[in-house]
Structure 1
Amino acid sequence: MDNTGILEIKDLHFAYTEGEEILKGLNFIIDERSTAIIGQNGAGKTTFVKLLKGLLYPTSGSIYFKGTDIANMTVAQLAKHIGMVFQNPDDQIFKNRVIDEVMFGPLKIGIGESIARQKAEEALELVGLKNLADKNPYDLGLSSRKLVAIASIIAMDTKVIIFDEPTIAQDYHGKEMIKSVVRKLRSEGKAVITIIHDMDFVADTFERAIVFAKGNILIDGTTREVFAEEDILKEAYLEQPNVTKLCRRLGYDEVFLTTEEFIAFQKANMQ
Structure 2
Amino acid sequence: MQKQVRPTGGIEVNPYISVKNVSHVYPGGVKAIQDINLDIHEGEVVAILGSNGSGKTTLVKHFNGLLTPTTGEITIGGLNTKKEKIAKLSSLVGYVFQNPNHQTFLPTVGQELAYGCKNLKMDDEEIETRVQKAIEIFELEDQLEDNPFDLNSSQRKEVAMASIMAVSPKVIVLDEPTTGQDHKGCKRVLELVKMFKEHGHIVVLITHDMHLIGELNCRTVVMNQSQKIADDHAKVVFSDKSIMEEAGLQPPQITTFANQISHFDSNQTYLTVDSILEWMDSNQKEAVKVGSRS
TM-score, with length taken from structure 2: 0.88
Shift of residue 19, structure 1, vs aligned partner: 4.5
Q: Find the residue that maps to 1:134 and give its secondary structure.
A: coil
- The CA deviation string for residues 168-196 of structure 1, in whole angstroms up to 9 with x for no partner, is 12122222222111111112321100111
Q: Is the CA contact (8 Å cut-off) linking 2:50 and 2:56 kept in structure 1?
A: yes
CA contact (8 A) 2:47 2:205 kept: yes
Aligned pair 1:176/2:187, yes or no? yes
- The partner residue of 2:99 within 67, 88, 101 is 88
> What is the match of residue 64 of structure 2?
53
Task: State how far apart, in whole Å, the 2-side matches of 1:114 and 1:170 are.
Answer: 35
Query: How many residue pairs were aligned?
Result: 270
Instruction: Tell me which residue corresponds to 1:266.
Output: 280
TM-aligned CA deviation for residue 124 of structure 1? 3.3
Counterpart in the other structure of 1:102: 113
Larger radius of gyration: 2
Aligned counterpart, 1:16: 26
In 1: Cα distance, 2:144 partner to 2:109 partner: 5
Q: Give the Å deviation of 1:18.
A: 5.6
Determine if contact 1:11/1:62 at 8 Å carries over to the other structure. yes
Distance 1:194 1:217, change over 3 A: same
Query: Partner letter of residue 124 of structure 2?
Result: E
Q: Which consecutive unaligned segments of at least 5 residues does structure 2 have? A: 1-11, 286-294
Unaligned 5+ runs, structure 1: none
Q: Secondary structure at the match of 1:99?
A: helix
| Percentage of pairs with the same residue | 31
Instruction: Tell me which residue corresponds to 2:202.
Output: 191
Comparing 152-161 with 50-59, which one deviates more in the overlay?
A: 50-59
C-alpha displacement of 1:129: 3.0
The CA distance in 1 between the partners of 2:91 and 2:111, in whole Å, is 18
1:247 aligns with 2:249: no
Give the alignment's Cα RMSD to 1 decimal.
Answer: 1.5
What is the rounded CA distance, in whole Å, between the counterparts of 1:178 and 1:133 in structure 2? Answer: 21
Structure 1 Cα separation of the partners of residues 163 and 156 of structure 2 = 11
Alignment of 1:121-132 (within 5 A): 121-132=132-143
Counterpart residue number, 1:27:
37
Distance 1:266 1:110 in 2: 56
Structure 2 CA distance for aligned equivalents of residues 221 and 160 of structure 1: 20
Q: CA deviation at 1:217?
A: 0.9
Relative to the length of structure 1, the TM-score reads: 0.95
Distance 2:100 2:203 in 1: 18
Q: CA deviation at 1:22?
A: 1.1
Is the 1:119–1:155 contact (alpha carbons within 8 Å) kept by the matching residues of 2?
yes
Q: What is the Cα deviation at residue 203 of structure 1?
A: 1.2
